Structure 1
Amino acid sequence: MKPDDVESGDSVKLGHPVTVSRYTLAARINHWITAISLVLLAISGLSLFTPKLFFLTALFGGGQATRAIHPWIGVVLFVSFSILFIRFWRANLWKSEDGTWLTRVRDVLLGHEERLPELGKYNAGQKFVFWAMSLLIIVLIASGIVVWETYFGTATSINTQRIAIIVHSLAAVAIICVWIIHVYAAIWVKGTMSAMTSGEVTGGWAWRHHRKWLRELVAGKRAGGTPAE
């Protein structure tokens, strides 16, 4: 049985330099569909949220078109992230080293990674983003359905819809903040962005940032099989 940190497609490729397959093509496509959907939802949602940003509706064909398209993009986001969740939830389970990582977050910011514990495929910050996204997307799709007048307008009362739109707006602001943290962290840790474009990282990168995960992959390879199997 493979460790929780090892996902389908993870493997070590010997060479000069050693490379590590971190994300499959399917996982990368899944990620970028989710990311693009979230950005489109943020832009269209903000354009409907305040008159000062209404000019952004021009990107979607005007106000009425934006109002019609916005919830459908939400459906795409929900379906895409659901698939992403199934792919990655096990590797995002909390481990004892994650608590240690959090207590030493100052060393993370200062780049003193030699003082950090050995980590699996994801660190505590990445896991926070994953679970925060999971919760907020559920809140967004649930509250969004309540205020989707075209199909569900008569299913709930006006007061319920008013509460739902407030909840929806607050969750949208929260998920935009989480997304900003995610993007900033990806840029901050050199090599993270390329991992989600090429699917691979160097052995040195894996050793520096996710040593426990690399050890598990190498152990699986030495055992005579690929860890992903």
Structure 2
Amino acid sequence: MSTQTEYDVEKGDSVRPGKPVIVSRYRGAARINHWITAASLVLLALSGLALFHPSLFFLTGLFGGGQLTRIIHPWIGVILFFSFCGLFVRFWRANLWKRVDGTWLARISDVLRGREERLPEVGKYNAGQKAVFWSMSVLILILITTGIIIWDQYFSAYTTIQQKRWAILIHSIVAILAICVWIVHVYAAIWVRGTISAMTKGTVTGGWAWRHHRMWLRELVAKSTTKQSGGTPLG
């Protein structure tokens, strides 16, 4: 039978006793993967906005001018797509939706007011983090698809003018949505103290894990106890 631990506890997650207790949340490879994705998103947003409207054309100066911006933008998109694929492979299981996530969302007012004692215990990711993950998964897939359609340098012979027009419209709308989701993600990471250091150092304190992801911490402790007892869970 599947257990919660199979989904929420990922390779490398562990608890190290001490004062304070240290919990390993992200391995080095996952953190590098995350920051490549983050950097790609920022560069894509800047270069995309530069091409989006004449009033923002000055942003092309960051990339060496209009022509270079037009050349570089789709290639950054390719990097983003494959980098996010790496994140997807790593994290999709822990982001599967569960019944507790619906309860967490229903109490979103308590989340915004910081009344976490009124929230249900959650695993490695809460409903908000899962919503960001799956939203970006869909949006990036649409962006790469529409981006290929309008990438005339390599694919102009395979699409019609009408298809390109629709692709540009969809690409622009989805790009704005992706930027909005990214802003929410960054704001939440800053708002919840300790979140950013988890993705820079790879660890959090036991107190942080207990407050924000208690179910995940319980699973880690149970897993650690099982190993120490020779494979038999302690009662």
Q: TM-score range by the shorter chain?
A: over 0.9
Q: How many aligned positions are there?
A: 225
Shift of 1:85: 0.2
Measured in 2, the distance between the counterparts of 1:154 and 1:170 equals 25
TM-score of the pair, normalised by structure 1:
0.97
1:161 equivalenced with 2:164 (yes/no) = yes
TM-score of the pair, normalised by structure 2:
0.94
Greater than 4 Å deviation, 4+ residue runs: none
User: Residue type matched to 2:197 in 1?
Assistant: S
Counterpart residue number, 1:171: 174
User: Residue type matched to 2:7 in 1?
Assistant: D
Percent of paired sites with the same residue: 69
1:139 equivalenced with 2:109 (yes/no) = no
Measured in 1, the distance between the counterparts of 2:82 and 2:202 equals 22
Counterpart residue number, 2:12: 9
1:220 equivalenced with 2:226 (yes/no) = no
Counterpart residue number, 1:114: 117
1:126 equivalenced with 2:129 (yes/no) = yes
State the structure with bigger RCO (CA 8 A, min sep 6), 1 or 2: 1
Shift of 1:28: 0.3
Measured in 1, the distance between the counterparts of 2:172 and 2:227 equals 52
1:100 equivalenced with 2:90 (yes/no) = no
User: Residue type matched to 2:222 in 1?
Assistant: A
Measured in 2, the distance between the counterparts of 1:113 and 1:6 equals 22
User: Residue type matched to 2:125 in 1?
Assistant: Y
* 1:71-104: CA deviation from partner (whole Å, max 9, x where unpaired): 0000000000001000000000001110000111
Counterpart residue number, 1:199: 202
1:27 equivalenced with 2:30 (yes/no) = yes
Counterpart residue number, 2:67: 64
Measured in 1, the distance between the counterparts of 2:162 and 2:56 equals 26
Measured in 2, the distance between the counterparts of 1:95 and 1:163 equals 36
Shift of 1:3: 2.1
Counterpart residue number, 1:182: 185
For structure 2, the 5+ residue unaligned runs are: 229-235
Shift of 1:154: 1.4
Coordinate RMSD, CA, aligned: 0.8
Question: Equivalences for 1:82-97 in 2 at 5 Å?
Answer: 82-97=85-100
* 1:15-65: CA deviation from partner (whole Å, max 9, x where unpaired): 110010000000000000000000000000000000101011011110000
Measured in 2, the distance between the counterparts of 1:83 and 1:3 equals 19
User: Residue type matched to 1:177 in 2?
Assistant: C
Indicate if the aligned counterparts of 1:3 and 1:216 stay in contact, CA closer than 8 A.
no
